[in-house]
Every structure is written in C-alpha cells, then in structure tokens.
Amino acid sequence: MRVGSIDELKKLSFWSRVLGWLSIIGWCIFVAALIVYHYARPEHETLLTEIFGVDVRTHWHITLGDLFIILLLFGLLTSLITFTINLMLFSRHRQHIWINNLILIFTLLGGIALYLFGF
C-alpha cells in the first residue's frame, strides 16, 4: 500500500478526521476575523488625506470590533478543543502533535491582545 493512498485514508480513525475538520474550521474562522479586522480597525491618516481634507476614523468600528472579538474567541475555543483532542488521542507516543493548531492559538491570542491593548 502506498503512503497517502485511498485505502490508507479510509483507515483513519474518526477522531483523526475530527481533528482535521476542526483545524480547517479554525483557520477559516481566523481568515474571517482578518477580513472583519480590515473593516473594523481605525483608519490611518496619510499625506493625501491631509491634503484633501478627508476625514478618517480614528476609533474602532464598534459593531465590527465586537464581531472581530467574537470570531477570535470562537476560533480560540475551536483551536483549544482541537489541541485537547490531539493531546488525548496521541498521549501515549506524542508522535503526532499538530503544530498548525499551536500557531493558530498564539495568533488568535495576539489578535485579542491587539484589539484589547492596541499595540
């Protein structure tokens, strides 16, 4: 049997598939949060906005800011569930820790810190 064959995919356990789908869902939530962040963040003044007298928003759009935080928290919850399942599933050998979930957890925490503390 070849590595990565269809037969090998059929033998994956239920929890391995759940891990994969939760990881994909977590990253999709993160991408949605990035899109909301783009529209919710304060706008920056540039030379052109000063020359033409264009008003810029210097505060967070409150509704989109709340949606941004909700998406980040929901993504963080999904990633923590995925990480917990991963630890329980592969607790004996520790041969299969999904690094992408750790990266996602730290990135989501950074996004929450960005919103709350305004770095």
pTM of the predicted protein model: 0.78
**Residue 2 falls within a domain, yes or no?**
no
Alpha carbons 27 and 24: distance in angstroms, whole number: 5
Q: What is the pLDDT of residues 80-92, one digit of tens each?
A: 999 998 888 776 6
Please identify which residue in the block is written with the tokens 């960005």: 114
Burial class (CB in 10 A: 0-12, 13-18, 19+), 10: exposed
User: What is the total count of domains within the chain?
Assistant: 1
> Cα–Cα distances in Å, from 83 out to 39, 58, 74?
30, 37, 14
Question: Alpha carbon 50 to chain centroid distance?
Answer: 35
**Residue 11 falls within a domain, yes or no?**
no
pLDDT at 1: 44
**Residue 83 falls within a domain, yes or no?**
yes
Domain coverage including residue 70 = 16-41+65-119
